[in-house]
Amino acid sequence: MVFNSYTFVVFFAVMLLLHNLPLSWKVKKINLLLASYIFYAAWNPPFILLLWLSTVVDFFVGRALYTQQNKVKRHALLVVSLIGNLGMLCFFKYGTFFLENFVALCNVLGFDYHPAQPSIILPAGISFYTFTTLCYTIDMYKRESKPVKSMLDFSLFVTFFPHLVAGPIVRPPQLVPQFETERKATKQQLLDGLLLLTLGIFMKVALADNMLAATADAVFGAHAPLGSLDAWAGVLAFSGQIFFDFAGYSTAAIGVALCLGFVLPQNFAYPYAAIGFSDFWRRWHITLSSWLRDYLYIPLGGNRKGHFRTYINLMITMLIGGLWHGANWTFVVWGGLHGLFLWIEKAMQDSRRKATNLSSDDAVVATASVIPGVKIKENFLKALLTFFLVCITWVFFRSATFGGAWVLLNAMFAPRPGTAPLLTSIAIVKVAVVITLMLVCHWTMRKTTVLKTAGKLPWWGVALAWSFMLVMIFLSQESSKSFIYFQF
């Protein structure tokens, strides 16, 4: 079931009705849990068993990790959780990938090995709910939070349908306490939630699917040589498509939860206005980047063990972050490029800090002497450069093979003269308009949020914008496409 479907509209209306009936809080939570299982089972009912297994194992293992005093037993329990969660993830998501690479290695070494091709179906959202349950058991191991008392609350924490399939990735302290006392949306929360839900669906249906997807698909799926204009239009189209698609899901998920009285963490903060790659990862898929920071980068040593280890830890984190997105070496290269740009950025910052060597008083004077208008212009140019480099990394993210990525990069930077155009003028203009408006919106909104902005507008301004989004959704071609991040 997807947010951009009439089935979900009916499903959500029923859930709102049940959640606002004069029932006990326990009954309402059971309703939410059953609804979450129905929501997930709409893809493939048998995979509910994996969800149950992960939930039950981590609930009891987490409690035992918190109470167990024997270090050997605590390590063993943690290993059980890691094997259970990562084992399922590796089998379903990376099983075919590992087998293909093993076969390729055997062939390189001279062994003629050709096993039967496995038929493994990827469960929807397995990467997201695996990280959700993993953070719980790791927190229990570190004793950073207390165990969830109720199996009902823990099950609802794992399977709560707004975030289940594509995030935001929630942690126990962010959601579990909200299940302990009755939650019911206020009038303002309901309006805000419906506004965010509408905005999210508008981003997905009207912008990602109907304005940009066809152009991106045509360019990345092209078999003939591409012109530079076509190549850049396709890459820019995908840059916009993946933002509107994924941020659209997160926005809709946060809105759905808010309509029920629950608050989910922010997942996007206008990332294409980022000034540098560190800033980009503070704005793009925030819950994943913070998860990787807290559960991978910092445990590896973070920046506490010298410059060399810092760079190594940073690259390992980004490579694993790339592989998390998909079982293909192109995703690893995508993560590696982000790691490389973070390296360069950090090296420049360290070099600048070492060269200036300002005292705290000198730093204050230097900062005060910067002309505001010059600083804004400098930051804007840095944001454009960051966006340009991010677009290059998207080539590897979207391409199925390195050959396809190389062909597209050649078309972008070294086009063949006389290549026949692939896209129509209307398609190119459409991409140019949407991407330009997107960048303007990101830059002007980079320090605020949708709800804060809506709160400052007159009621008729909000109503006008809301009506426009609804009209555009209904006028758009019927779209029931799954969200891009469902495959991750």
Query: How much is the pLDDT for 477?
Result: 61
CA distances from 240 to 78, 174, 480 (A): 40, 29, 19
> Residue 15: pLDDT band by 50, 70, 90 thresholds?
very high
What does the radius of gyration of the chain's CA atoms come to, in whole angstroms? 24
Q: Which structure tokens are listed for 299?
A: 């445990």
Q: How far apart are CA 237 and CA 214, in angstroms?
A: 9
Query: How much is the pLDDT for 96?
Result: 79
Query: How much is the pLDDT for 372?
Result: 61
CA distances from 488 to 54, 182, 211, 290, 430 (A): 18, 33, 23, 18, 28
Asked whether the predicted pLDDT for residue 187 surpasses 70, the reply is: yes
Residues comprising the chain, all counted: 488
Query: How much is the pLDDT for 371?
Result: 60
Asked whether the predicted pLDDT for residue 369 surpasses 80, the reply is: no
Query: How much is the pLDDT for 355?
Result: 77
Asked whether the predicted pLDDT for residue 367 surpasses 60, the reply is: no
Asked whether the predicted pLDDT for residue 417 surpasses 90, the reply is: no
Asked whether the predicted pLDDT for residue 6 surpasses 90, the reply is: no
**Where is pLDDT greater, at 382 or 370?**
382
Catalytic residue from among 163, 285, 325, 338: 325
Phi first, then psi, for residue 467 (nearest 5°) are: -65, -40
| Average pLDDT of the residues of the chain | 87
List of residues 6+ apart from 11 with CB closer than 8 A: 1, 35, 38, 39
Asked whether the predicted pLDDT for residue 103 surpasses 60, the reply is: yes
**Degrees (nearest 5) of the Cα angle 53, 59, 62?**
125
Cβ(179)–Cβ(153) below 8 Å = yes
Give per-residue pLDDT as tens, 282-315. Answer: 999 999 999 999 999 999 888 888 888 889 999 9
Looking from the CA of 147 toward its CB, the CA atoms found within 13 Å total: 16
Query: How much is the pLDDT for 35?
Result: 93
Give per-residue pLDDT as tens, 46-77. Answer: 888 888 988 998 999 989 998 888 888 888 99
Write the DSSP symbol of residue 271: G
Question: Residue 73 carries which side chain, given as an amino acid letter?
Answer: K
Give per-residue pLDDT as tens, 211-235. Answer: 999 999 999 988 888 889 999 999 9
Asked whether the predicted pLDDT for residue 365 surpasses 50, the reply is: no
In the predicted model, what is the mean pLDDT of residues 84-98?
A: 82
Q: How far apart are CA 434 and CA 417, in angstroms?
A: 28
Write the DSSP symbol of residue 22: S
- Of 18-22, 404-408, 480-484, the range with the lowest mean pLDDT is 480-484
Query: How much is the pLDDT for 127?
Result: 83
Asked whether the predicted pLDDT for residue 404 surpasses 70, the reply is: yes
User: Known catalytic residue: 325?
Assistant: yes
**Where is pLDDT greater, at 385 or 377?**
385
Asked whether the predicted pLDDT for residue 195 surpasses 70, the reply is: yes
Give per-residue pLDDT as tens, 246-279. Answer: 999 999 999 999 999 999 999 999 999 999 999 9
Phi first, then psi, for residue 116 (nearest 5°) are: -65, 140
In the predicted model, what is the mean pLDDT of residues 357-386?
A: 64
In the predicted model, what is the mean pLDDT of residues 103-123?
A: 76
Looking from the CA of 403 toward its CB, the CA atoms found within 13 Å total: 4
